[in-house]
Amino acid sequence: MTQFHQLSVHELVQGLKNQSFSSTELTEHFINRIDSLDRQINSFITKDFENALAQAKLADKQRADGDNRPLLGVPMAHKDNLCTKGVLTTAGSKMLYNFVSPYDATVVQNIANSGFVSLGKLNMDEFAMGSDNESSHFGAVHNPWDLGRVPGGSSGGSAAAVAAGFVPVATGSDTGGSIRQPASFCGVTGIKPTYGRVSRYGMIAYASSLDQAGTFGKSALDCAYLLDPMSGYDNKDATSINRPSEDYVADILATATDSKPLAGKKIGVAKAYFGAGLDSEVEKSIRTALAKYEELGAKIVEVDITDPAITLATYYLLAPAEASSNLSRYDGVRFGYRCENPKDLHDLYTRSRSEGFGAEVQRRIIMGTYALSAGYFDAYYTKAQKVRRLIVEDFKKAFEKCDIIASPTAPTVAYKLGESLDPASIYLGDVYTIGVNLAGLPALSHPVGQANGLPVGLQLIGKHWAESELLKTAHIYQANTKFHQASSPLAQTDAP
């Protein structure tokens, strides 16, 4: 018998509407799974079940009283860097181990207003810095496909929770790949929208010129269901762009998926994305997916993009620089962790920060502060900003020749927990995703098969504001293939 966690959001919406089941039943099903199975993967930092059940009951009552919001009563969960009023918000850090936000992020508010029921807060790399979720103060997350492997990061808890059948959809954030790469490692779909599409108000900052919230789901359509209420202008975020809102779900549902549905579309492929470092099994899945796209009518054209090695260096200069500035607010006085018995104010700052931040965060603060220091600012920070401009220009040129650029999402499949390579090798794993953030472009990752039994994701990069096109394209692929339906062993495990 099909269980609730095997249904798509689309099916959940229909079922709730037809009263085939209630939000309370749905919410209880997911809570039961999380309660009995999450100890295997550690995807939740905070389980907010009492609230969730109260919300679900309210949703059922509202629906019975004629409230026809389609998403009313559908369960979801948030990455733990989105502020939730009255609920612990830690950003995966000891620094915020006791921080209860006094307000909701705009995204959280918008999602709640659409009727979704939040089950709690999901594990992540500390302050979203990382690619494997091993830097969380609350412990690593295990990949539902193979408990000995990482789920990717930094939104590892979000990707793993969806892949484990703990929530139908989840929010994430993506500064350099943190939605797309864990989506790839966990065999789910994830989208990072255009910079400015989704409000950053109440999302704990890592690198503000790159950070953008997005969604995870089992399919492009499921991602769209959560992205719709999240998107839109917010006057509380100065970088939010005021554009007419879009309806991604309606766009997808109006898309024809058969008989060469992608005829006329040009998909750009860059040699630079297939260079040394790309696992040969991953490459095979990617090439097969590109062939499928051709079969669906798309034309593959060759494009040039900036040398990924240059993009990587630029990102790992700018992101830590912005982080060092953003994280200066954690001083042991205003938020969260404070050291014991400080001798004086200086000791309070120093020890609170050395004890409150983990090793990777400290490394980034040191790198970033160095790049911003008076003597090196021009040589590093200013130079990197200039290179960033060139990266943007290169993407623009590439998009003169195509509608979408396709690439592997990550050079490898999920690696083993604890294998943690040295930081520089981990940074190398971000090579295909970070250019997108530097240019502010939208991109998604969707599953296209497996390499050695582990999921592989294909990245689709769009022009600015092309979320709808990306989601529709991935939907067409998903309507004609079954890769996104492959579920992890944990998702196939029943709660006792």
Interface segment toward ligand GLN; rule CB under 6 A; list 90-98, 123-131, 298-306, 413-421: 123-131
When the beta carbons of 118 and 175 are compared against ligand GLN, the nearer one is: 175
Report, in Å, the least distance between residue 445 CB and ligand GLN: 12
Residues 492, 495, 496: CA angle, nearest 5 degrees: 130
Interface of this chain with ligand GLN, residues 140 to 159, rule: CB under 6 A: 154
Cα separation, 101 vs 425, whole angstroms: 35
Are 356 and 126 within 8 A, CB to CB? no
Point out the catalytic residue in the list 154, 155, 158, 352: 154
Q: In this structure, what token pair is assigned to residue 249?
A: 């779900």
Report, in Å, the least distance between residue 83 CB and ligand GLN: 17
Give the residue, chosen from 177, 268, 435, 440, that forms a contact with ligand GLN under the rule CB under 6 A. 177
Interface segment toward ligand GLN; rule CB under 6 A; list 64-72, 169-177, 288-296, 474-482: 169-177
Q: How far apart are the first and last CA of the chain?
A: 15
Cα separation, 302 vs 274, whole angstroms: 12
Report, in Å, the least distance between residue 266 CB and ligand GLN: 28
Report, in Å, the least distance between residue 320 CB and ligand GLN: 8
Q: What is the dihedral of CA 459, 460, 464, 467, to 10 degrees?
A: -110
Interface segment toward ligand GLN; rule CB under 6 A; list 8-16, 128-136, 259-267, 373-381: 128-136
When the beta carbons of 205 and 303 are compared against ligand GLN, the nearer one is: 205
Indicate the DSSP class of residue 279: -
Are 285 and 407 within 8 A, CB to CB? no
Cα separation, 211 vs 195, whole angstroms: 8
Give the residue, chosen from 73, 165, 176, 187, that forms a contact with ligand GLN under the rule CB under 6 A. 176
When the beta carbons of 206 and 380 are compared against ligand GLN, the nearer one is: 206
Q: In this structure, what token pair is assigned to residue 48?
A: 């907010």
Indicate whether 130 belongs to the interface with ligand GLN (CB under 6 A): yes
Interface of this chain with ligand GLN, residues 24 to 63, rule: CB under 6 A: none
Give the residue, chosen from 319, 365, 436, 490, that forms a contact with ligand GLN under the rule CB under 6 A. 319
Report, in Å, the least distance between residue 378 CB and ligand GLN: 23
Indicate whether 308 belongs to the interface with ligand GLN (CB under 6 A): no
Indicate whether 128 belongs to the interface with ligand GLN (CB under 6 A): yes
Could you please report the per-residue DSSP string of 258-271? Answer: SSSTTTT-EEEEEG
Instruction: Enumerate the β-bridge partners of residue 190.
Output: 216, 445
Are 119 and 88 within 8 A, CB to CB? no
Point out the catalytic residue in the list 23, 43, 79, 94: 79
Task: Classify residue 27 as exposed, middle or buried by CB count within 10 Å of its CB (0-12, 13-18, 19+).
Answer: buried
Indicate whether 311 belongs to the interface with ligand GLN (CB under 6 A): no
Cα separation, 296 vs 157, whole angstroms: 33
Indicate whether 133 belongs to the interface with ligand GLN (CB under 6 A): no
Point out the catalytic residue in the list 8, 178, 184, 487: 178
Q: Is 121 a catalytic residue?
A: no
Report, in Å, the least distance between residue 433 CB and ligand GLN: 7
Indicate whether 178 belongs to the interface with ligand GLN (CB under 6 A): yes
Interface segment toward ligand GLN; rule CB under 6 A; list 42-50, 122-130, 183-191, 441-449: 122-130
When the beta carbons of 59 and 438 are compared against ligand GLN, the nearer one is: 438
Give the residue, chosen from 30, 145, 166, 206, that forms a contact with ligand GLN under the rule CB under 6 A. 206
Phi, psi angle pair for 393, to nearest 5°: -65, -40
Interface segment toward ligand GLN; rule CB under 6 A; list 161-169, 174-182, 289-297, 451-459: 174-182
Q: What strands, in cross-sheet order, belong to the sheet with 75-79? A: 44-47, 117-122, 75-79, 169-174, 212-217, 189-192, 443-451, 454-462, 404-408, 266-270, 299-303
Interface segment toward ligand GLN; rule CB under 6 A; list 18-26, 91-99, 172-180, 265-273: 172-180
Distances from the Cα of 442 to the Cα of 49, 180, 219, 269, angstroms? 33, 11, 17, 16
Report, in Å, the least distance between residue 128 CB and ligand GLN: 4
Q: In this structure, what token pair is assigned to residue 286?
A: 């990617």
Report, in Å, the least distance between residue 338 CB and ligand GLN: 26
Indicate whether 129 belongs to the interface with ligand GLN (CB under 6 A): yes
Q: In this structure, what token pair is assigned to residue 455?
A: 């999921």
Report, in Å, the least distance between residue 10 CB and ligand GLN: 28
Give the residue, chosen from 80, 126, 430, 467, that forms a contact with ligand GLN under the rule CB under 6 A. 430
Task: Classify residue 310 as exposed, middle or buried by CB count within 10 Å of its CB (0-12, 13-18, 19+).
Answer: middle
Report, in Å, the least distance between residue 107 CB and ligand GLN: 15
Unique residue bearing structure tokens 């990717």: 152
Q: Is 178 a catalytic residue?
A: yes
Could you please report the per-residue DSSP string of 76-136? Answer: EEEETTB-BTTBB--TT-GGGTT-B-SS--HHHHHHHHTT-EEEEEE--SGGG--SSS-S-
Cα separation, 246 vs 345, whole angstroms: 50
Indicate the DSSP class of residue 198: B
SS3 assignment, position 282? helix
Indicate whether 174 belongs to the interface with ligand GLN (CB under 6 A): yes
Total residues binding ligand GLN (CB under 6 A):
13
Give the residue, chosen from 46, 55, 106, 131, that forms a contact with ligand GLN under the rule CB under 6 A. 131
Contact residues for ligand GLN, defined by CB under 6 A: 128-131, 154, 174-178, 206, 319, 430
Q: Catalytic residue numbers?
A: 79, 154, 178
